[in-house]
Structure 1
Amino acid sequence: MALFLVGTLILGGCTASRDTANSASPDVAQASTADSAFRNLPRLEGEAIVELVVKGSPIRILVNGVDAPITAGNFVDLVNRGVYNGLSFHRVVRDPQPFVVQGGDPQSQDPNVPINQLGTGSFIDPATGQPRYIPLEIQPTEAEQPIYSQTFETAGISTAPKLRHTRGAVAMARSNVPDSASSQFYIALADLNFLDGSYAVFGYVTEGMNVVDQIQPGDRIDTARVISGLNNLKSES
């Protein structure tokens, strides 16, 4: 069951041809490497609250930039740009047991794109005309910095991450390439501990989980906006 569900999630992420950025251990050296390799990506230095409205009902997400600064910064930046407005949830898995609702494919902005063709789209940065990808970023419980571009398994880490896949966790979907997440995200419908250390959680639903439980394939995000914490979003050059 776990392998099937993980495979479903991987296939739902964006497709990309990306090389692993580095394979360093989670220490100061890796933090320095990550800072230089990803310095052009937005970061969230603190927390933010994002509100998604789906079928007229709000879903509030506490976005954690303390433990996932790049992943959280990417999400808040896309929300602030209006990228998620009108996008649909193209994958909803509840059977044989609750799993995830997944959305954020920019291709879903076009209602003529069939839902079964969604799941491969990425955010195209208007400044470069190219897809913007972010590194896999997961912070171990006892570490001072996240590790980048590798899962806990490949990094040889046996501890749990700080941000875990509990019910209501919000995380980035990706392909089997670690640094392939872009705009697609998912919300956990149950505790999914077997995903810990493999996918980057960056926040949690704090209000409106009852709305998430009712989402069906094809339902759209009416609006997405940053309620608070936008001042914590930083862009580096």
Structure 2
Amino acid sequence: MTDETAEAQAAPDLENTLYMDLKDGRVVIRLRPDLAPKHVEQIKALTRQGFYDNTPFHRVIEGFMAQGGDPTGTGTGGSRLPNVPAEFSPPARARFLRGTVGAARSSDPNSANSQFFIMFAPAPSLDGQYTIWGQVVSGMDVVDKIKRGAGGSGTVAQPVDRLVRMRVAADVPA
């Protein structure tokens, strides 16, 4: 393998990379169009509209996950785009591990829209039941600083941690 070949293989796919800026720093997410092409398309469309900017993390459960993507901060909001049908991955292909980003939804598997969650720890019970659309590749230390909610539901009564800004890396000047 030549040095140029190795460099090309190591270069990130900027069209399938998100920069999520939080108050404590930047989180870099590698999108997974190989697992969930429709979800990735929707997330990128919403990101390019500025939909996620200044949205709160409204449900944050210690040892489980941080959920955001609802501009109302209630857990019931979404975008004006249509819901996305489930794109579940078999556990042999992708699992909910620390840093996995999944699509939040109601009890209807085809109800994902804009909300997402980032895993603090593995959750095998979600494998094959929720859509995986990304993986944090750097900045989990920043995700770990998101304020946890009270009680079992993890709902944050007064969300203080917000997604400051999210961008598709290909759209950010070098």
Contact 1:47–1:62 (CA under 8 A) maintained in structure 2 = no
How has the CA–CA distance of structure 1 residues 188 and 120 changed in structure 2, closer, same or farther, with 3 Å as cutoff? same
Matching residue of 2:166: 224
Q: Which segments of structure 1 move beyond 4 Å, counting only runs of 4 or more? A: none
**TM-score normalised by length of structure 2:** 0.80
1:122 to 51, 59, 78: 78
Q: Is 2:133 aligned against 1:202?
A: yes
Distance (Å, rounded) in 2 between the aligned partners of 1:106 and 1:173: 14
What's the C-alpha RMSD, in Å, of the aligned pairs?
Answer: 1.8
1:171-221 deviation per Cα after TM superposition (whole angstroms, max 9, x unaligned): 000000111110000000001111101000111000100000010142111
Distance (Å, rounded) in 2 between the aligned partners of 1:229 and 1:72: 16
Following superposition of structure 1 onto structure 2, how do residues 61-72 of structure 1 map, counting pairs within 5 Å? 61-72=29-40
2:104 to 173, 181, 184: 173
Contact 2:58–2:75 (CA under 8 A) maintained in structure 1 = yes
Q: Is 2:51 aligned against 1:101?
A: no
Matching residue of 2:41: 73
1:7-57 deviation per Cα after TM superposition (whole angstroms, max 9, x unaligned): xxxxxxxxxxxxxxxxxxxxxxxxxxxxxxxxxxxxxxx960001111051
Matching residue of 2:153: none
Q: Which amino acid aligns with 2:99?
A: G
SS at match of 2:16: strand
Residues matched between the structures, number: 148
Contact 1:89–1:104 (CA under 8 A) maintained in structure 2 = yes
- Any stretches of 5+ residues in structure 1 without a counterpart? 1-45, 109-117, 126-131, 141-159, 231-237
Distance (Å, rounded) in 1 between the aligned partners of 2:92 and 2:49: 29
1:143-176 deviation per Cα after TM superposition (whole angstroms, max 9, x unaligned): xxxxxxxxxxxxxxxxx25221011000000000
Distance (Å, rounded) in 2 between the aligned partners of 1:121 and 1:48: 25
Contact 2:24–2:145 (CA under 8 A) maintained in structure 1 = no
Question: 1:228 Cα deviation (Å)?
Answer: 2.8
Contact 1:89–1:102 (CA under 8 A) maintained in structure 2 = yes
How has the CA–CA distance of structure 1 residues 172 and 211 changed in structure 2, closer, same or farther, with 3 Å as cutoff? same
Question: 1:139 Cα deviation (Å)?
Answer: 3.2
Distance (Å, rounded) in 2 between the aligned partners of 1:56 and 1:170: 19
Distance (Å, rounded) in 1 between the aligned partners of 2:15 and 2:88: 16
Following superposition of structure 1 onto structure 2, how do residues 118-197 of structure 1 map, counting pairs within 5 Å? 118-125=74-81, 132-140=82-90, 160-197=91-128
Distance (Å, rounded) in 1 between the aligned partners of 2:115 and 2:99: 16
Contact 1:92–1:101 (CA under 8 A) maintained in structure 2 = yes
SS at match of 1:88: strand
- Any stretches of 5+ residues in structure 2 without a counterpart? 1-13, 148-155
Question: 1:67 Cα deviation (Å)?
Answer: 1.9
Question: 1:138 Cα deviation (Å)?
Answer: 1.6
SS at match of 1:163: coil
